[in-house]
């Protein structure tokens, strides 16, 4: 028995009942040693990994630049002690009888890798290569490899600490726990002492086994999600730069961008004024961006909940985070303040029912499986604002190093992290769908929405302008006269030439169907003749309100003709 269970055994029945009520249920019992089941969240990731072998889809990298006098031996010892403290940093994932299980190893083989680069003009490039190599690496999960650490010496008083862990073993909250404990372990090692860190109250495998027990409230959770997702669209179609492949691709990129300190301060004030949190403000802004790009007023946005319902789970390293959908309904043209309050209610409801595993939510929504895209949610928001997540070493300045695994799980992911008093954000997208220029533009437009929220929350959401001053100036420059187009240089004439020269070539790809230049041109001609017969003359305006299909392209060409 653990020290905690020994102490619990001495409590009176009345005190035990009170403690269980405060803790949210009975104590989590110690699971038997040996192979343990995966948690519901781990099982979902495990099956996704079977679809993406060899990709670092769930490699979570973390880089820190350390400037100042550093005791590298103490740091490496602290990293080894960290692995010894937390079972999930040395767990193997294997299949037994067709089912995935986790087996804890002793971790004796773990050792941080130490790299020393030459102090010349290539030192920074070599250090950058080390960071990229770690971020792009995969893990041998069957051998119990879920955590890596590299200490790179760049100069006498500059080192880079590069860490990577597999998402099956830990989540963003766990990363904060690891950095906090690493700070304490390093300080103790450097002083030649032992860190006074209590052992985790429970192990992750205890929670994984406990999670399989029947729990109260499941029926209410399922009833909520059935009602919430009834009639909800299961696909959010963002206008992509490239056709969607038949099978989901995992290659991606990340575009980091900053939030100005004065905007961050104003957003925090807005959150307080609306009785909510900064996370809700970003969820509201992100939904506005997606709505404008997709042309939708009812859609789903995914988000991650910490999913640690018990206080004794706060310092446990493991993968707890659960994905839940937020149904964004934007009818009525609310003001920005009203919209933030509406999103606050949406988030609060999702959090109350957020312990139901995402796989079960997908089942309740009756999603038809489509291997070209993630199920139910294609756009996701992550917001890291949990425990303090920075490394603290006396006399050493610590700065984050941007690391990217060059993968993307969703069509678009907004990642926001709080680093002290500042916010760092990034948009992540698959390169098979989007060009980096498009995602950069999305980031600018999101900043415009955030600036509007910071400036005036009384305006209706329909009046928010996405374009910033730079884009407005660019459009004005394009519209500033110049040489007039010749009659044979306008788009419908150029299209007609292509139709004559390549009538059987694909002009428009829509879903799994191609429309040729010849067919599209014939459709446009029929529309043009119909408009002429209806009395439309050159120079008159024709309104168009259609879905994004080949018929829309044919209509536009027909009007121009």
302-347 pLDDT tens trace? 999 999 989 999 999 999 999 999 999 999 999 999 999 999 999 9
pLDDT at position 11 over 80: no
| Entry field: residues in the chain | 561
Sheet holding 99-104, edge to edge: 36-37, 99-104, 91-96
Q: How far apart, in whole angstroms, are the C-alpha atoms of residue 494 and residue 506?
A: 15
pLDDT band at 1 (very low <50, low <70, confident <90, very high): very low
Is the Cβ–Cβ distance between 311 and 200 less than 8 Å?
no
Q: Which among 143, 148, 145, 173 is positioned nearest to 162, based on CA atoms?
A: 148
How many other C-beta atoms lie within 10 A of the C-beta of residue 334?
Answer: 15
Lowest mean pLDDT, pick from 213-227, 358-372, 535-549: 535-549
How do residues 405-427 score in pLDDT, each as one tens digit?
A: 999 999 999 999 987 677 899 99
Which one is predicted more confidently, 40 or 539? 40
Percent of the chain with pLDDT over 70: 92
Is the Cβ–Cβ distance between 126 and 153 less than 8 Å?
no
For the chain, report the end-to-end CA distance as a whole number of angstroms.
83
Give the mean model confidence (pLDDT) for residues 211-227.
92
Q: How far apart, in whole angstroms, are the C-alpha atoms of residue 381 and residue 359?
A: 18
pLDDT at position 533 over 60: yes
Residue 508: burial class (beta carbons within 10 Å; 0-12, 13-18, 19+): middle
Q: Look at residue 293 in the predicted model and tell me its pLDDT.
A: 96
Q: State the residue for tokens 């110049």.
A: 482
For all residues of the chain together, what is the average pLDDT?
Answer: 90
Q: State the residue for tokens 């446009």.
A: 524
Q: Look at residue 561 in the predicted model and tell me its pLDDT.
A: 87
How do residues 370-403 score in pLDDT, each as one tens digit?
A: 999 999 999 999 998 755 567 999 999 999 998 9
Q: How far apart, in whole angstroms, are the C-alpha atoms of residue 426 and residue 440?
A: 10
Residue 331 three-state SS: coil
Is the Cβ–Cβ distance between 350 and 64 less than 8 Å?
no
Q: State the residue for tokens 């904060």.
A: 176
Percent of the chain with pLDDT over 90: 69
Q: Look at residue 3 in the predicted model and tell me its pLDDT.
A: 41
Across-strand partners of 300? 327
Give the mean model confidence (pLDDT) for residues 145-168.
96
Q: Which among 358, 409, 367 is positioned nearest to 40, based on CA atoms?
A: 358
Residue 253 three-state SS: strand
Q: How far apart, in whole angstroms, are the C-alpha atoms of residue 282 and residue 458?
A: 17
How do residues 261-301 score in pLDDT, each as one tens digit?
A: 899 999 999 999 999 999 999 999 999 999 999 999 999 99
Q: How far apart, in whole angstroms, are the C-alpha atoms of residue 268 and residue 550?
A: 45
pLDDT at position 7 over 90: no
pLDDT at position 21 over 70: no
Phi, psi at 266, each rounded to 5°: -70, -35
Compute CA 108 distance to the chain's CA centroid, rounded to the nearest angstrom: 33
Q: Look at residue 480 in the predicted model and tell me its pLDDT.
A: 64
Cα dihedral 364, 365, 368, 370 sign: negative
pLDDT band at 365 (very low <50, low <70, confident <90, very high): very high
Q: How far apart, in whole angstroms, are the C-alpha atoms of residue 433 and residue 427?
A: 14
Is the Cβ–Cβ distance between 205 and 36 less than 8 Å?
yes
pLDDT at position 489 over 80: no
Give the mean model confidence (pLDDT) for residues 474-480.
72
pLDDT at position 8 over 50: no
DSSP element (H, E) containing 254: strand 252-258
How many other C-beta atoms lie within 10 A of the C-beta of residue 170?
Answer: 25
Phi, psi at 256, each rounded to 5°: -80, 145
Q: Which among 425, 370, 424, 432 is positioned nearest to 407, based on CA atoms?
A: 432
Give the mean model confidence (pLDDT) for residues 555-560.
92
Q: Look at residue 4 in the predicted model and tell me its pLDDT.
A: 43
CA atoms within 13 A on the CB side of 354: 22
- DSSP assignment string, 345-385: HHHHHHHHTTTS-HHHHHHHHTPPP-TTS-SS-SEEEEEE-
Phi, psi at 513, each rounded to 5°: -115, 140
CA torsion 445→450→451→457, rounded to 10°?
130
CA torsion 184→185→187→190, rounded to 10°?
180
How do residues 109-149 score in pLDDT, each as one tens digit?
A: 899 999 999 888 788 889 999 999 999 999 999 999 999 99
Give the mean model confidence (pLDDT) for residues 458-478.
86
Q: How far apart, in whole angstroms, are the C-alpha atoms of residue 485 and residue 481?
A: 11
């Amino acid at each position: 028995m653990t020290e905690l269970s020994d102490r619990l055994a001495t409590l009176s029945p009345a005190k035990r009942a009170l403690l269980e009520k405060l803790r949210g249920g009975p104590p989590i019992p110690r699971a038997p040693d040996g192979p343990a089941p995966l948690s519901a969240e781990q099982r979902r990731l495990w099956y996704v990994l079977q679809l993406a072998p060899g990709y670092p889809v769930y490699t979570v990298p973390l880089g820190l630049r350390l400037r100042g006098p550093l005791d590298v031996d103490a740091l490496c010892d602290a990293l080894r002690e960290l692995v010894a403290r937390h079972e999930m940093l040395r767990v193997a994932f294997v299949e037994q009888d067709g089912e995935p299980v986790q087996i804890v190893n002793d971790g004796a083989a773990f050792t941080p890798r130490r790299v020393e680069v030459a102090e010349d003009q290539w030192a920074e490039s070599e250090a950058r290569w080390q960071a990229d190599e770690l971020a792009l690496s995969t893990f041998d999960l069957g051998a119990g490899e879920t955590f890596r650490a590299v200490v790179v010496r760049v100069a006498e008083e500059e080192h880079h600490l590069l860490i990577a862990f597999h998402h099956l073993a830990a989540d963003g909250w766990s990363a904060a726990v690891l950095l906090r404990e690493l700070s304490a372990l390093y300080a103790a090692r450097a002083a030649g002492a032992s860190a006074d860190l209590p052992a985790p109250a429970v192990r992750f495998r205890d929670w994984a086994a406990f999670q399989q027990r029947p729990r109260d409230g499941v029926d209410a959770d399922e009833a909520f999600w059935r009602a919430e997702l009834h009639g909800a669209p299961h696909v959010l179609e963002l206008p992509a730069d490239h056709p969607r492949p038949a099978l989901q691709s995992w290659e991606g990129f990340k575009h980091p961008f900053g939030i100005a300190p004065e905007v961050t301060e104003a957003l925090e004030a807005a959150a307080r004024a609306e009785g909510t949190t900064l996370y809700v403000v970003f969820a509201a802004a992100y939904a506005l961006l997606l709505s404008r790009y997709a042309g939708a007023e009812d859609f789903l946005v995914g988000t991650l909940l910490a999913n640690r319902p018990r206080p004794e789970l706060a310092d446990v390293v493991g993968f707890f985070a659960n994905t839940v959908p937020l149904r964004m309904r934007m009818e009525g043209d609310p003001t920005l303040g009203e919209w933030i309050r509406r999103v606050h209610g949406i988030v609060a409801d999702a959090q109350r029912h957020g312990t139901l595993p995402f796989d079960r939510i997908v089942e309740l929504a009756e999603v038809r499986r489509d291997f070209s895209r993630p199920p139910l949610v294609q756009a996701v928001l992550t917001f890291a604002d949990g425990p303090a997540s920075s490394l603290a070493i006396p006399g050493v300045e610590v700065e984050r190093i941007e690391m990217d695994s060059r993968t993307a799980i969703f069509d678009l992911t907004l990642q926001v992290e709080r680093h002290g008093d500042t916010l760092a954000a990034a948009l992540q997208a698959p390169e098979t769908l989007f060009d980096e220029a498009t995602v950069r533009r999305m980031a600018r437009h999101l900043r415009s929405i955030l600036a509007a929220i910071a400036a005036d929350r009384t305006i209706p959401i329909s009046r928010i302008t996405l374009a910033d001053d730079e884009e407005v100036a660019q459009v004005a420059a394009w519209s500033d006269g110049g040489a007039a187009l010749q009659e044979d240089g306008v788009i419908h004439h150029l299209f007609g030439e292509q139709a004559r020269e390549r009538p059987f070539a694909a002009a428009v790809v829509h879903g799994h169907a191609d429309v040729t230049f010849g067919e599209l041109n014939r459709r446009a001609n029929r529309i043009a003749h119909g408009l002429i017969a209806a009395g439309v003359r050159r120079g008159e305006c024709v309104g168009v309100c259609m879905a994004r299909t080949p018929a829309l392209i044919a209509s536009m060409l027909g009007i121009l003709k």
